[in-house]
Amino acid sequence: MTLKIYNTLTRMKEDFKSIEPGKVTMYACGPTVYDYIHIGNSRMVIFFDVVRRYLEYVGYEVSFVVNFTDVDDKLIRKANEMGSSVQELADKYIQAYHEDTKGLRVGKALNPRVTENIPEIVAFVSGLIHKDVAYESGGDVYFRTESFEKYGQISHKNLEDLQHGIRVEVDGRKKSPQDFVLWKKAKSGEINWSSPWGKGRPGWHIECSAMAAKYLGETIDIHGGGEDLQFPHHECEAAQSESLHGKPLAHYWMHNAFLNIENEKMSKSMGNGLTIRQLLKENRGEWLRFVILSTHYRNPLNYNGESLHQAEAGVERLNNSFANLRYRLQTLEQVNAAQETGNLPDLGQNEAAEVKQAVEQALAHFNRSMSEDFNTPDAITAMFDLAAAANRYMQVDKAAADSLKALIAAFEQMDAVLQLLYTEEAESVDEEVDRLIEERQEARRTKNWSRADEIREFLINLGIIVEDTPQGIRWRRK
Ligand SMILES: [Zn+2]
């Protein structure tokens, strides 16, 4: 099935074709690490994680970069306020970013930092000066925007319109108001690096051009980010990269729409203040994923106080169905092992065929939805259809292992992309139960009866039944 992607550049859905067969290079503009990420940031983070996962699902090897902006005005200001260095501040929030996104079930990406790529950035700026599309002025370096004819290609604005809206700045270092900064001269006491133009630091846009080229190549397959980045950030990135390399920066530009906090009161009290960290204290990351993925990424998402509650109900429904399947299979295997026959119980062919068909349909629906410009709401519907088929099947007295396994496998395939099933927790609970049972055995061996009873009580409260069998201790859920 051909993957279709809506390309901001052409404003059309296009068939996706990667530069190198079987491989995808993808870059998404990451956070400025001066604070905890908030709910507004989470849409980009979750959506592009799903894009990466789906590309892998259909067989691509994906190189995915999400940069960290670890030096800019906001970082400098906050570091000064807190009496720490810019690097200490950045380290703290990068660590927090990893913790918080893990809680959102966001997987791997390469996360280069601006401050680790200064030589590449300086070389990039030098290259632009050499091509006469940039100039030094009083220790700053600016890009000559008029030199790039395609400026406006992503945001679909033209230079005259843009010029109209720009206030003429008092600072006379720029030759033209729409020129943008590539290198900023350091103010006294500010963090800085040496360059051919004196001590300073990179402007914002140049970092992405330099890092995309370094880690992914001069032309990449997909460039992503929030729609607020179309202008000026992505225009400037494209102008820089395309001027230096003489080829497109990216073949497909993808932008997710905003997440709006619905009522104003909530927006004020929560808005930027609602960090993922706070949210994860009382909610599961999967619920927020469900909220984000229930709206197509190019539509505005209205978030309100009810969003997470509704998501919780949906996610729980999927998880119950999945957990029941696994439990049913587990008990079936235990029964078979106990009988030592290894034979599966007889089962009507009709039911098996029905399950097979439901699984195939749900997977096809899932794939069709995702390949149609990442239609995640429809993909979630496919997962609910699968859950419904599973629930119907589990009313059968004698479920067959093969059918249960097929349903479980389909759940797992979809979840490799969506990440809504609580598998990790289930595993860690299993590990914890194993550990407690071992501890209880040890307590009994050492005749520490009170500890042994305590653990037994605790496990009963968890709904765990422990049985002594000739083969050793077994446990199961009530
Ligand atoms: Zn960027």
The residue assigned the tokens 């446990």 is 475
Distance 237 CA to ligand 1 centre (A): 7
Instruction: State which of 378, 403, 422 marks the end of a domain.
Output: 422
In DSSP terms, 263 is beta-bridged to none
Which residues, in sequence order, are CB contacts of 15 under 8 Å at separation 6+?
A: 2, 3, 4
Same domain membership, residue 157 and residue 199: yes
Distance 213 CA to ligand 1 centre (A): 12
Domain CATH for 375: 1.20.120.640
Distance 72 CA to ligand 1 centre (A): 13
Domain CATH for 170: 3.40.50.620
Residue 278 lies in a domain: no
* Amino acid type, 122: V
Residues with Cβ–ion distance below 5 A, ligand 1: 29, 208
Distance 205 CA to ligand 1 centre (A): 6
Strand ranges, E, within 144-232 = 180-185, 200-202, 220-226
Same domain membership, residue 30 and residue 69: yes
Same domain membership, residue 98 and residue 29: yes
3-state secondary structure (DSSP) of residue 462: coil
Distance 189 CA to ligand 1 centre (A): 27
Residue 338 lies in a domain: yes
Distance 239 CA to ligand 1 centre (A): 12
* Amino acid type, 430: D
Distance 265 CA to ligand 1 centre (A): 32
Residue 457 lies in a domain: yes
Distance 226 CA to ligand 1 centre (A): 10
Task: Look at the chain and report how many structural domains it folds into.
Answer: 3
Distance 343 CA to ligand 1 centre (A): 58
Distance 180 CA to ligand 1 centre (A): 14
Residue from 402, 420, 467, 435 nearest 323 by CA: 420
Same domain membership, residue 385 and residue 455: no
Q: What is the pLDDT of residue 167?
A: 57
> First vs last Cα of the chain: how many Å apart?
43
What DSSP letter does each residue of 10-52 carry, written as one string?
Answer: TTEEEE---SSTTEEEEEE---BSSS--BHHHHHHHHHHHHHH
What is the dihedral angle through the alpha carbons of 66, 68, 74, 79, rounded to the nearest 10 degrees?
160
Distance 208 CA to ligand 1 centre (A): 5
Q: Which two tokens stand for residue 158?
A: 């033209």
Residue 264 lies in a domain: no
Distance 212 CA to ligand 1 centre (A): 9
Distance 391 CA to ligand 1 centre (A): 45
- Structure confidence by residue, pLDDT tens digits, 309-343: 999 999 999 999 999 999 999 888 877 777 655 45
Q: How far is CA 141 from the centre of its chain?
A: 34
Residue 361 lies in a domain: yes
Distance 436 CA to ligand 1 centre (A): 49
Per-residue pLDDT of the chain (478 residues; tens, 9 = 90+): 899 999 999 999 999 999 999 999 999 999 999 999 999 899 999 999 999 999 999 999 999 999 999 999 999 999 999 999 999 999 999 999 999 999 999 998 999 999 999 999 999 999 999 999 999 999 999 999 999 999 999 999 877 776 665 655 546 789 999 899 999 999 998 999 999 999 999 999 999 999 999 999 999 999 999 999 999 999 999 999 999 999 999 999 999 999 988 765 555 555 556 899 999 999 999 999 999 999 999 999 999 889 999 999 999 999 999 999 999 998 888 777 776 554 545 555 788 899 999 999 999 999 999 999 999 999 999 999 999 999 999 888 778 999 999 999 999 999 999 999 996 555 566 777 888 888 888 888 888 888 888 888 888 877 787 877 766 777 777 6
Same domain membership, residue 450 and residue 429: yes
Q: How far apart are CA 468 and CA 466, in angstroms?
A: 7
> What range defines the domain where residue 432 resides?
424-477
Same domain membership, residue 382 and residue 450: no
Q: What is the pLDDT of residue 470?
A: 67
Same domain membership, residue 389 and residue 472: no
Q: What is the pLDDT of residue 428?
A: 62
Same domain membership, residue 159 and residue 18: yes
Q: How far is CA 390 from the centre of its chain?
A: 28
